[in-house]
Structure 1
């Protein structure tokens, strides 16, 4: 019980510190989308704290998995958003820009919610630190699923970056992974956290696995319906050619493109 309270409290404290720093950074930058960079940092800090308490190779492996994911994601988002204004998803969520609604609204609608989400998503890391390893083979299945997720994220982002740099690009990116799913990066992100759940939560036993399954479920719901695909598509559907692309391409799970009428 002592380890459970220590790990849960440490994880919550890490999320609170990082999101407080992110809220301050948002006031300096004039946009709340900086929270996307802070997300990975908060989860990496949580993973390190859990591993420090546990000391097991399983927890330190999870630090490596979270660290690779967080480093790639945070650096990509930072480079992509540098010099740009507010992300349309957050403008939609807030009902205006940060200057228009104020930091209080942003803290309530974004930073508190994402801080709680960090704690929830970190449940497999906490489970591994408290319960320990029960079945090693599940760890390696989780690593395989994690690899699939990182590849989808990395390749999808690289293809999108090349598309945006092409002066003769088509109106809509519908090549490579983007021909099979409209959001390969979000799908990859979900796979990463299902993999971490397998390697952390389920590998620590059926009960820790059952409780910590809230993590990948919440991440998937978040990516599809909260601040991910659905919210982004409200903006994307206004672009010429996107409704036709959406009609033939799976929104989330990769599937063969549907034939047009």
Structure 2
């Protein structure tokens, strides 16, 4: 996060932190696997690297050519670094570094202790795979929708995974972290699992209620046809859409 802050200040774009978000977990997982090298640690590092690397590339591509993210302008009370270096470092880069460290507790515990239940590891991998599917396919469907001419596309994307949940990418993100918790800490036993369950629970709460879905809906709810779409399609947890 410190390295990203230096680049961000030179580019005068605080939103660069979003690219570093996934990569920070990759760095943590690789450091843990290097410190406690075994099959379990390297498996978790691979899962995190696949998820975090794809996310970083996707966000970098999506944000190319854009200015500052309005979310950070609102958070900082002005355009990016003009709010002051100390404010930006504390509220954005420092906060995200701390959150990444806390959310990665299941990975930290898993690296330091031996697996007790290997079948649980593979259950976690399956949950992780469901999450990655929702993220990758949801993002691809949204990109295809945006690539269509405005006059020929629906007002709201309500097909594919977007007909099952209004935020398939955020739901997928939550599944990824529940999967890593199951494959990581829970596979060590009930005590390590219960001691670290706060991590995926916190991630799910924030991406659903604070920084993710609910925040985005404040803007999206102004679109024509949104009320009807929201009445048919659930906010977060997927289910077949109502007619």
Deviation of 1:136 (Å)? 0.5
> When the two structures are superposed, what TM-score results if normalisation uses the length of structure 2?
0.94
In the aligned structure 1, how far is the partner of 2:81 from the partner of 2:21?
A: 22
In the aligned structure 2, how far is the partner of 1:100 from the partner of 1:73?
A: 28
* Match 1:73 to one of 55, 67, 86: 55
Unaligned runs of 5+ residues in structure 1 are 1-18
Corresponding residue for residue 139 of structure 1 = 121
Secondary structure at the counterpart of residue 83 of structure 1: coil
Cα contact 2:166–2:236 (8 A) shared by 1:
yes
1:219 pairs with 2:196? no
Deviation of 1:135 (Å)? 0.8
In the aligned structure 2, how far is the partner of 1:247 from the partner of 1:27?
A: 42
Deviation of 1:122 (Å)? 0.8
Secondary structure at the counterpart of residue 134 of structure 1: coil
Corresponding residue for residue 133 of structure 2 = 151
Q: Cα deviations across residues 68-111 of structure 1 (Å, max 9, x unaligned)? A: 00111000000000111222333333333215523332222221
1:183 pairs with 2:170? no
Deviation of 1:127 (Å)? 0.8
- Residue pairs, 1:4-43, within 5 angstroms: 19-43=1-25
Q: Cα–Cα, structure 1 residues 100 and 178, in superposed 2: closer, same or farther, change >3 Å?
A: same
Corresponding residue for residue 90 of structure 1 = 72
Q: Cα deviations across residues 190-218 of structure 1 (Å, max 9, x unaligned)? A: 10110000010100121211122122111
Deviation of 1:28 (Å)? 2.1
In the aligned structure 2, how far is the partner of 1:230 from the partner of 1:25?
A: 30
Q: Cα–Cα, structure 1 residues 244 and 24, in superposed 2: closer, same or farther, change >3 Å?
A: farther
Unaligned runs of 5+ residues in structure 2 are none
More displaced stretch, 235-244 vs 155-164: 235-244
Query: Size of the alignment, in residue pairs?
Result: 241
